[in-house]
Amino acid sequence: MVMLVDVPRMTAWIRDTGAERIIADIAARLEADYARWPQFDKVERIAAHSPIGVIELMPIADADRYGFKYVNGHPANPARGLQTVTAFGAYADVHTGYPLLIAEMTLLTALRTAATSAMVAKRLARPDSQVMALIGNGSQSEFQAMGMRSALGISSLRIWDTDPAAMDKIERNLVPQGFTIYRATSAEDACRGADVITTATADKALAQIVADAWVKPGMHLNAIGGDCPGKTELDTAILDRASVFVEYEPQTRIEGEIQHVPANFPVTEMWRVITGEAPGRRNSAEITVFDSVGFALEDLTALAHVADAVEGTAYAGQIDLVASPDDPRDLFGMIATSTEASFAEPTVGRIHAA
């Protein structure tokens, strides 16, 4: 049997544990995994693009564990009542090849993305940062706010979205969580007075969501929306004035804000900052940009955290996913020994955690 954390179980675990606590826990674990970056077998994600979206497979492994995530990005989905992004993942034992966990990863991706932003902000944002601009108030936005509060103590938000309903949604969700929210009249207004700017837009377009003139000395830009070829959020002039940090450079050159700059444009992979091989923020006036496209190591870390956190609890289900004949060499025997199918419909119900 393989551990299963499906949508009801994932939802119950997050509600009972608390999203902000989980984000902080994953961020701490991410820092430990980034510190051993050379130990991972890394590759750019494998993408299947269409005119209306993308489907991606994100694999990674170290000497003991293998993981992958299946994820899509379809910006037009909300107009059809569907999520822009959905995902699931698998976590496996390298020594046997057997899967250990199958998990929902739409919610988990939001948590790990916020955890990555939090880990990076501790190194790149000014420690005295107090105000965060959130441009793009979709599915990722609340998690991003919680990540910055866990990392920097920020609880003052300036929000902007072209869809007023998205702004209504984030106010409805975050005011009860203790955030103070200013509803901006434009993206420029949102950036005014911010210490940290997070862009989390969905449109697959070469956009300039943040203009160079709006970025002041000392700001930290957390650009998480640009994550595929032909999709950007920042005025490229910002990059020329900033120190730019990435996850996995070969992937970010294809998908990130730096897809438009020369191949020799200097960037720093975050693992080098974590290990002390390269500096993070060097002074209070420096502009820092985290050109984040999401990387498979973050998914592996999140899957490992879930596996450890829920094993042996009501949040961990089981799925009979691996054929296990009595004789490992006689797979055919599983279908040849009986003329009657042995199958029962699974029981589906709500998860009530103890």
Give the CATH number, domain containing residue 152.
Answer: 3.40.50.720
- Domain-embedded: residue 119: no
- Domain-embedded: residue 62: yes
Residues whose CB is less than 8 angstroms from the CB of residue 174 and which lie 6 or more positions away in sequence, other chains included: 142, 145, 157, 181
Report how far residue 348's alpha carbon sits from residue 350's, in angstroms, rounded to the nearest whole number: 7
Whether 227 is catalytic is: yes
pLDDT digits (tens, 9 = 90+) for 78-124: 899 998 889 999 999 999 999 999 999 999 999 999 999 999 999 99
pLDDT of residue 353: 46
- State mean pLDDT over 265-285: 98
Q: Of all helices (H) and strands (E), which one includes residue 104?
A: strand 99-104
**Residues 266 and 313 grouped into a single domain:** no
pLDDT digits (tens, 9 = 90+) for 200-241: 986 666 678 999 999 999 999 999 987 667 778 899 999 999
- Domain-embedded: residue 341: no
- Domain-embedded: residue 348: no
CATH number of the domain encompassing residue 74: 3.30.1780.10
**Residues 86 and 70 grouped into a single domain:** yes
pLDDT of residue 354: 42
Our count of domains for the chain comes to: 2
pLDDT at 294 over 90: yes
pLDDT at 347 over 80: no
**Residues 281 and 317 grouped into a single domain:** no
pLDDT digits (tens, 9 = 90+) for 148-206: 999 999 999 999 999 999 999 999 999 999 999 999 999 999 999 999 999 998 666 66
Report how far residue 319's alpha carbon sits from residue 99's, in angstroms, rounded to the nearest whole number: 11
Report how far residue 217's alpha carbon sits from residue 237's, in angstroms, rounded to the nearest whole number: 14
Q: Which of 25, 227, 235, 299 is catalytic?
A: 227
Residues whose CB is less than 8 angstroms from the CB of residue 332 and which lie 6 or more positions away in sequence, other chains included: none
What mean pLDDT value characterizes the chain?
Answer: 93
Range of the domain at 200: 126-294
- Domain-embedded: residue 116: no
- Domain-embedded: residue 65: yes
**Residues 286 and 214 grouped into a single domain:** yes
